[in-house]
Structure 1
């Protein structure tokens, strides 16, 4: 499948840049800057907080936590082992206040800033009220401990976010800033952003390519892991397209630049990933809406727990009921939900990118988890998209003569079938004179080679010129090119688009997941049936125009199936946009299809469809595990706390402990193999 002309690529690129740069979270930022700020945390009221304000760097968490922890341990030791020491009195209170400040002040500061913006019910306010209240009733150690563990939770959260980002952000390291440009006999190192289209780059052994281009050297081998997730060498020959991020594995190679630095395939990948991190899944959006209702309710319930018993409890003690209310507030802080859920989706996107699959939003992880039917185009998706001669049969003449005469005629044609024959004839040397070549519309070519009349085309061409040939050729499902010399049938070529090596494995694995398969193609029905039979695809439809493919997918959607469509051509863009999730083959795929798709498979392997489904299912599973864990533990401890059966220590576990467990569970997906 040929690539879109460079002008059209540039146009598509500009549209993408405009869409991304106009997003509120990404304005005035470079791709790198936008990526750094892409993970945004929603607090309990549903408002977004870039954790750079409270998270900062690991040092900002680590050092204050260490200071507070040391002071707290000393204080607890003096409290328990030297109950009547000098520590008691004003020194004890001051000591705990000093222990509290390193971890408590940043949270209190954030709470004040949130209130100035009108965001009163934030997790920062909940933690501040709870710990201030603990100090007010003399529970100094518990007040410091709550905030210390909250800070430790933030520390682990920051580590988890960095881990989640690392799989995607590592792509930035695959984009060199410099390139060695050949200028006559001199090789000059230039900034990649200043290299123009048409210039020649020299790439040494082990170097990474900075810009997309065409290989000028006779052959070379590259590591394509940055683009495909596959580290095995990929052999290229002269004229092949080489993409930024590929690593040269053999001798010095030269590449002619075909796209400027900002238009490289790798730059597009980075933009797609950046855009993906700003799109929320339905589960994330639900939790944010839920938190806006949930947090005010628990604040009012805490107030009720403290004061309502005045009217119902005979021996009401304000300090006891305030303590229960504070416990209730600590438990109710929804940190585990508002951080672990987006982190789970972020981890899923990172795991997918590590496997050469780009999700353009976390919502598509949910959709892929629910897919029931996978509909595929044939050419470029299940097959390699390259016609090759599979068999040559010569009748009454040598195979060499059949091949050279046919290739001579086809050299005057631009048809892909003719190109396949010419490529096959490359091993044969010939010096033939070709004249008077004319095209017989829809049938083939007629011409003269070394004074001999040659007919090359479909069996219909033989029928038209009343030439006897082997009628069994009419039943062959693949493209058959029949040749006649001087009105006599002399042989034929069987030409087919080769099925991808992992296509059958992909179909088998989809069936094991109880997913139906269908192929829609514009090719002849007999060819489509043959491919479908070989791969064991459930349904196959050929002779389809783009609008016919749309009709087939619409029919599935009307039957309430969740449908994924996989394609690579410009004509697949409408149906990719229509399906519940559109998947583009990013290596061979057209830019229009890649722009329209929701998921891009970088190495064109059909098995990556199964990988995408498995990642979607695992991500959804982890997210719901976190939701159930957080709600169940918090509900139990909330009831115990309101009834006076739980202390602040249980509250700390219900809040920070559950948050840590949820975060650790969320990042599991990044270590999984799919």
Structure 2
């Protein structure tokens, strides 16, 4: 059953204030949209002129002219906020930031402090513009994905290539991609080879060279020559569409910190409104020369200072920046909650094949007895040419200078190997059981080899063997060392491969604990046993197919190379779009940097507000200090959050 996908056109900034901003206006959403800034510019110019007229004490600039002037200056930035506040009230949500800004600025007008009333609303509006500009900057990497969505596909129909919309191409059809064009749909390569730029999908700038029958993904750019691809997924199920869908949903999954601040703001706002009323009225009972206007002014300052804008803007923006920075490096978090979760991981459990190894067999060693290596391999390859086993494919990669020879009468010996005739000689290719069952003596040195071994006997005499091993990924050793440096106390390897090979790989990588020969349910039991200790915060890294149960059971499930795996997309919490395990270390760094910036913003916002609140209640702070405590702090917090986009974590 297909999952319903969100339309890609709906990819837009989430509401970062906790309240709806959809008033039909663009609140600074597009940096290129100059009209967005016009209301603030009008208010700013009129405010400066009004202050200049006040300073020069011009005769005409008295009430009601002065009131009308500042009212006109107020409306371009104030009307949208007043409207938003009123709509919130009609929906039963009274104590919002719009309500605070509205009563504070209208109160300033009521006591004749027109310039300050305009200034507060103007700087609040400017803060909103900065917020939206910052959101757009954080979304830059995500929007870049929209640009790589192909607009057309050249599909082979009726013997000719036709340019059609990718949505109309069916599975099994052949498409052609010219040099410089984007692959419109996922598929398998029909051409002999292709050089592809996969930066939009994986974050890797290095071109990827693939051979015939390899999987290729929508959004990749063809760099070399014209290629043909057989379509394997419909457009809506393509890799680029799934990534966009994933990122869309990621911004909706809030972290605990973010949810706490939202709830806190809803409790905090009504409290400060009643405290402001107290600041205005209670001194009447204790102060001899009580002047209502002075205490009202202090209460208004109190309201402006206490507006939770800096918190409700900068904290979600911090997490959004973290999600954007991660996607830039080919790491997809399914939500802000997992940015938090990955910072707490202290135990890392990993699969072997496809995670720290390439999952591709390769010849590690060739040993012959009384045979020239080239001739020996020619006989072996003649036999293995008849097999489709992965080990046979590895052997066929060997470059031999000997002329090609063919095997005849090849038959398979169940569970043991192959038997056939090459150049009139009887050849046996397989494991030790095949050799011993045919009375061939096997050298004892083979008993110490833990990797896969292919033995060869020619005319009833042991001719040699080939050691086949899965190759470690280039960054595997560096990754394990780096994991310890970032505070991962325990690294454990669980593999379905035989235990001897698993132990050898673990030894090479300096992994403390390793277990091989495990079924998926065995891996699950191991992780469940670790989870019984509440101190263990477990991340599991796997390929997202056989490891799906463990990915789901872990505190953080990480899918390696999950770009083409539906199971990885569905099950994992974090998806590494490349096959590089080192990206897991980078994901931890990004999570920690995001958490650090979020807490810096919380401390900054609360610290400044508390200081200025005390000064305001004591009559030592004016409305201008209040503006800094609100909009100024929000602006500083936004700039701090933007830093995430500049970090490299290299």
TM range (shorter): over 0.9
Is the CA contact (8 Å cut-off) linking 1:216 and 1:256 kept in structure 2?
Answer: yes
Q: TM-score scaled to structure 1, two decimals?
A: 0.92
Which of these residues, 173, 185, 194, is aligned with residue 199 of structure 1? 173
State the 1:434 CA deviation: 2.3
Is the CA contact (8 Å cut-off) linking 2:562 and 2:575 kept in structure 1?
Answer: no
Distance (Å, rounded) in 2 between the aligned partners of 1:668 and 1:433: 64
State the 1:51 CA deviation: 7.7
- The C-alpha deviation readout for 1:12-65, integer Å capped at 9, x for no partner, is xx23x2xx55xxxxxxxx1222x12x512233xxx5555865726554541011
Which runs of no fewer than 5 residues in structure 1 stay unpaired?
1-10, 22-29
State the 1:187 CA deviation: 3.0
Cα 1:658/1:65, change in 2 over 3 Å:
same
Cα 1:84/1:436, change in 2 over 3 Å:
closer
Distance (Å, rounded) in 2 between the aligned partners of 1:84 and 1:49: 40
Cα 1:52/1:501, change in 2 over 3 Å:
farther
Counterpart in the other structure of 1:231: 205
Distance (Å, rounded) in 2 between the aligned partners of 1:561 and 1:120: 44
Question: How many residue pairs align between the two structures?
Answer: 644
Is the CA contact (8 Å cut-off) linking 1:403 and 1:425 kept in structure 2?
Answer: no
Q: Does 1:339 align with 2:313?
A: yes
- Identify which range, 255-264 or 586-595, moves more after superposition: 586-595
Counterpart in the other structure of 2:606: 631
Is the CA contact (8 Å cut-off) linking 2:405 and 2:423 kept in structure 1?
Answer: no
Distance (Å, rounded) in 2 between the aligned partners of 1:271 and 1:254: 27
- The C-alpha deviation readout for 1:144-189, integer Å capped at 9, x for no partner, is 0000000110110110011111111110111111012234663321
Distance (Å, rounded) in 1 between the aligned partners of 2:563 and 2:413: 30
- The C-alpha deviation readout for 1:598-639, integer Å capped at 9, x for no partner, is 011111101100111110000000100000100010011111
Distance (Å, rounded) in 1 between the aligned partners of 2:201 and 2:541: 19
- The C-alpha deviation readout for 1:345-404, integer Å capped at 9, x for no partner, is 111111111101111111000011111122111100000011111222222223233323
Q: Secondary structure at 1:489's aligned position in 2?
A: strand
Give the 5 Å matches for 1:128-143. 128-143=102-117
State the 1:503 CA deviation: 0.9
- The C-alpha deviation readout for 1:568-603, integer Å capped at 9, x for no partner, is 052211111111100101357632133200011111
Q: Secondary structure at 1:570's aligned position in 2?
A: coil
Distance (Å, rounded) in 1 between the aligned partners of 2:434 and 2:279: 91
Cα 1:288/1:587, change in 2 over 3 Å:
closer
Which of these residues, 235, 260, 277, is aligned with residue 286 of structure 1? 260
Which of these residues, 615, 625, 644, is aligned with residue 619 of structure 2? 644
Give the 5 Å matches for 1:151-230. 151-183=125-157, 186-230=160-204
Q: Does 1:660 align with 2:632?
A: no
Is the CA contact (8 Å cut-off) linking 1:408 and 1:432 kept in structure 2?
Answer: yes
Counterpart in the other structure of 2:48: 73
Which of these residues, 396, 402, 411, is aligned with residue 376 of structure 2? 402
State the 1:492 CA deviation: 0.3
Q: TM-score scaled to structure 2, two decimals?
A: 0.95
Give the 5 Å matches for 1:541-560. 541-559=515-533, 560=535
Counterpart in the other structure of 2:425: 452
Cα 1:587/1:429, change in 2 over 3 Å:
farther
Q: Secondary structure at 2:290's aligned position in 1?
A: coil
State the 1:661 CA deviation: 0.5
Distance (Å, rounded) in 2 between the aligned partners of 1:190 and 1:571: 37
Which of these residues, 461, 472, 480, is aligned with residue 453 of structure 2? 480
Distance (Å, rounded) in 1 between the aligned partners of 2:429 and 2:201: 41
State the 1:513 CA deviation: 1.0
Counterpart in the other structure of 1:597: 572
Is the CA contact (8 Å cut-off) linking 1:586 and 1:594 kept in structure 2?
Answer: no
In angstroms, what is the RMSD of aligned CA positions?
Answer: 1.9
Give the 5 Å matches for 1:545-624. 545-559=519-533, 560-587=535-562, 590-624=565-599
State the 1:512 CA deviation: 1.3
Which runs of no fewer than 5 residues in structure 2 stay unpaired?
none
State the 1:545 CA deviation: 1.6
Q: Does 1:31 align with 2:8?
A: yes
Which of these residues, 501, 504, 525, is aligned with residue 477 of structure 2? 504
Which of these residues, 95, 108, 115, is aligned with residue 121 of structure 1? 95
Cα 1:429/1:245, change in 2 over 3 Å:
farther
